[in-house]
Amino acid sequence: MASISEFLTAESMRKLESLALRSRYVSEGSQSGGHKSPLKGQSVEFADRREYVKGDNLRHLDWKVFARTEKYYIRQFEAETSLRVHLLIDASASMGFQYSGRFSKYEYAARLAASLAYLVTKQQDSVGLTIYDKQVRDRLPCKNGARHLRLILDRLAANSAQDGTDTGLALHSMAEQLSRRGLIIIMSDCFDDPEGIFSAIAHFRKRMNDVVLLQIVDPVELDLSLSSIAQFVDMETGEKLELDPAHARAAYKAEMQGFVDGIRERCGVMNVDYRLASTAEAFDSFIQQYLLDRKKMAL
């Protein structure tokens, strides 16, 4: 089985030690934990009252309400539950691109996923993995524990970037299978039909999931920083184009910036947490800064 050391160095794990991953919304886990749940149960935080029915625990009677109304009410509390984190990774052929960074986009996403899976396991929550291209290629449901973490690492190592993309189809399929709300983290370059992508994201949001979109790009894809005439090959269709980057750079950068801004703006409208991740940035530093920023958002 794959080892965490194949993805994270000791320094990477040290950066994660003081961090935590939390949902911005209530969770529906399968065990007691440290996250708010929409289910009513016993916890320190009062949530609501309901009328007493025969068989209710008398210890939960609200005597202050009885003193005012002479009616019996039961105090209800917000149950705390474990967080369910679903890591969704685009492994289509375009994610195999590597020019400027140390890793291809898929390899970078795999290390982000390994970091998050390690962190979620360490905080005793549940994590699942879905790898997709035109459809769901590999899936592990949410579980916790060291053995499950090793299974996730195995699947990350066993897969590679290949085939075409249909993000909308794959993610709609995933959304249909989720019976409980949780935290959905999508890692993709988003080089696909935006309408399909955001239709699937809307599906997750309609089911009250907290959604994060990490758009992963190689730096050269942002600025076309090449110095000589080059042949460009679409990694998914094989289509070829030869051009001089110096002549195309300004128009390309404007088009690419518009594409990224459009993704970011639509995420904002849908209350989806968006981050642009460059493969030139150390993945552990990206995760560390992202989690620190997310913590500030929750304050």
Q: What is the per-residue pLDDT for 244?
A: 74
Is the pTM for the entire model greater than 0.85?
no
Q: How many other CB atoms are there within 10 angstroms of residue 145's CB atom?
A: 12
Phi (first) and psi of residue 196, to 5 degrees: -65, -40
- 49-83 pLDDT, tens digit each: 667 666 667 777 888 888 888 888 777 554 444 79
DSSP 8-class letter at 61: B
What are the residue ranges spanned by the domains of the chain?
4-26+82-298, 35-81
Q: What is the per-residue pLDDT for 53?
A: 63
Fold of the CATH domain 4-26+82-298 = Rossmann fold (3.40.50)
Ordered per-residue pLDDT tens for the chain, 299 residues: 788 889 999 999 998 888 999 888 754 444 544 545 454 444 445 445 667 666 667 777 888 888 888 888 777 554 444 799 999 999 999 999 998 778 999 999 999 999 999 999 999 899 999 999 999 999 999 999 999 999 999 999 999 999 999 999 999 999 999 888 899 999 999 999 999 999 999 999 999 999 999 999 999 999 888 777 767 777 788 788 877 777 778 888 999 999 999 999 999 999 999 999 999 999 999 999 999 998 887 65
- Residue 133: which of 167, 94, 105, 173 has the closest Cα? 167
- Per the structure block, which two tokens stand in for 32? 């007691």
CA-to-CA dists, residue 60 to 48, 65, 66, 77, 200, angstroms: 12, 12, 12, 10, 42
Give the C-alpha separation, 7 to 197, whole Å. 28
Q: What is the per-residue pLDDT for 39?
A: 46
- Residue 101: which of 283, 250, 230 has the closest Cα? 283
